[in-house]
Structure 1
C-alpha cells in the first residue's frame, strides 16, 4: 500500500534506507540468518572463513523458500543502494564491541558519554554526531593501545576518503587496511563489513549522492523519547513520537507563512 501511494512502479526510485528495511523490501527472513546478503550466499555463521574468503557464490535469484527468502520481493534489488551512514555506524559498532571493557579506551567512552548506559556502550548505540565528536577528540586517540589506534586510524581514513563526497584514488587500499586492522583488533565480520569486504565495487561512485540521513534522524529523535520514557518501548511512546513529528511540521509551516507575510508587508 505504501509503495502504491508513493507510485514506486511509475518512478522506480533508487532506494537507500536502513538495512532492516532492505530485508523487508526483498522478502528476506529477519534476524540472525545463515544467508543475510541479498547479493551473494555469504554464510554469516562460517566465522572461520570470514576473514579469509572474499568471494562467495552469487545469489542468482530471490526465490521464496530458498536461502532465507520467505516473501516475494516488493522492489528490484538492482535499485537497492548501500546506506553509507548506516554502514559507518556498523563499523563503529564493531570497533567498540571489540574493546576490552577494562581498557582505558572504553573507560574514556564512558566518561565522554555519561548518559549512555554500560549495556548500550557495549552494544555501541551511537549516532553520527557522536562519531564526529570522537574523530575530533585527540584525547580519545591517546587513550588507545597501538592495536586500537591502528584500527581507529583506518576507520577515520575510510570515513574521510570513502564515505563522503570525495573518494580518494586509493580507497580500495584504505578499505583493505581497515579490514586487516579490524581483524587484528578481534572484530566480528558483520553484514555491513561484508558489503565493504566483498562488494566494494557496488558502492556508488560518489557516496554523497545518496543519503540515509532520515533514518539517522529517527535514531536521534527516538533517543529523546527513550530518555523521557526511561527506555520503555510501548505504543504510548510511539504515539508521542508521531505527535512530535506532526507538531514540528505544523510549526515549520506556520513559521514559513509568517516569514512570507512579513516579507510581503515590508
Structure 2
C-alpha cells in the first residue's frame, strides 16, 4: 500500500502468477485499475509499474510486505545473511540475536553492497514497517516455539480443523484467526507458565502498539513481549529484529499506515479469480466492485475504530 494524505494505491500480487495494481482515489468518483497480466514479480517489472504510477512525481510513503520491500530496494531474494535494510544484522548468527541489540548501520544502499543486487527503486526512508505482517510474523514464531505434545498446540489443531497440521506447526495464521485465539479463554488455560506469559504480552502489543492506539508505555510492553519470546525459545526473525533493534523507527500511528486493507483486498480478489478462471478483464473487476458496494448507515461494529475517516459520496 502506498499512501499520501487521502490517496491510496493498493499493490497486491494475485493468485494466478499475475500482478494486480488497484488504485483507489478516496476523494474522487474514480477508480483506476492497472492490470499487467504478463509481468512477474521481478525488480525490473516492479520498476516499470512504479514509473507507470508516477511514483517519483509524488514520493509517497510505502507500506508493503517484506518481499515487496526487497524488490523495491533491490535486495537479494530468499533467506539472506543481511536481510535488514537499516543495519547489518546477521540473520545466521543465532547465538548473538538475543544478546546483541546494536548492529552496524548501512551507510549506503546501492548495488554491490552485502545482499543488494540492484539499485533501489525508491528511497528506503519512504519505507515503513508493515504492522500486519509483523503481527503475523510474531504469531508464527510463537506457534513454532510450542511443543507439539503440549495441550496448547493440540488446542490449535482442534480450533482450526480446516488448517493442515503442517500449516499449524509452521505458524501460518491470518488476522481473523489470531483474533479468534485472543477471544478464546480456553486457549490460555491450556498453556504452561512460559507460554502464557509470552502470549499475554503478545496480545498487549497487538492491542496497544500494532494498531491505531499507541500506549504511552509501548516500549515496556514490547520489551516484555520480547523477553517472553526469548524465554519460550523463539527464534528471532527479521520481523522480531525490527521490534528488538529498530523500535524507534516505527511511525506514531501504525493503524494509519497499515497494509491490512490491501491484504483484505488480496483475499477478496482471490475468491473472484476462482470464479473467473483464465479470464481477467473489466467484467471480473465490475463483479468485485458491485460486491463491495453496500449501503448500511446503521451498521454496528464490534471493534471500535479510533481513526478519523472521510467517506466520499460515490
> TM over 0.5, yes or no?
yes
Q: Would you say 1:247 and 2:310 are equivalent positions?
A: no
Q: Residue 84 of structure 1 aligns with which residue?
A: 131
Q: Is the 8 A contact 2:269 2:288 kept in 1?
A: no
How does the TM-score come out when normalised to structure 1? Answer: 0.86
**Higher RCO, 1 or 2 (CA under 8 Å, sep at least 6)?**
1
Q: Would you say 1:12 and 2:49 are equivalent positions?
A: no
Q: Is the 8 A contact 1:104 1:144 kept in 2?
A: yes
Q: Is the 8 A contact 1:16 1:80 kept in 2?
A: yes
Q: Distance in 2 between matches of 1:137 and 1:245?
A: 42
Q: Would you say 1:54 and 2:101 are equivalent positions?
A: yes
Deviations, residues 113-170 of structure 1 (Å, cap 9, x unaligned): 0011011111112110110110011011111111100000010000011011111111
Shift of 1:75: 0.4
Higher strand proportion (structure 1 or 2): 2
Q: Distance in 2 between matches of 1:255 and 1:80?
A: 29
Q: List alignment gaps of at least 5 residues for structure 1.
A: 226-235, 258-266
Shift of 1:240: 3.2
Shift of 1:220: 3.8
Higher helix proportion (structure 1 or 2): 1
Shift of 1:247: 2.4
Q: Would you say 1:137 and 2:174 are equivalent positions?
A: no
Q: Is the 8 A contact 1:127 1:220 kept in 2?
A: no
Q: List alignment gaps of at least 5 residues for structure 2.
A: 1-47, 295-314
Q: Distance in 1 between matches of 2:293 and 2:274?
A: 29
Specify the SS of the correspondent of 1:126.
coil
Shift of 1:213: 1.6
Shift of 1:249: 3.5
How does the TM-score come out when normalised to structure 2? Answer: 0.73
Q: Is the 8 A contact 2:276 2:284 kept in 1?
A: no
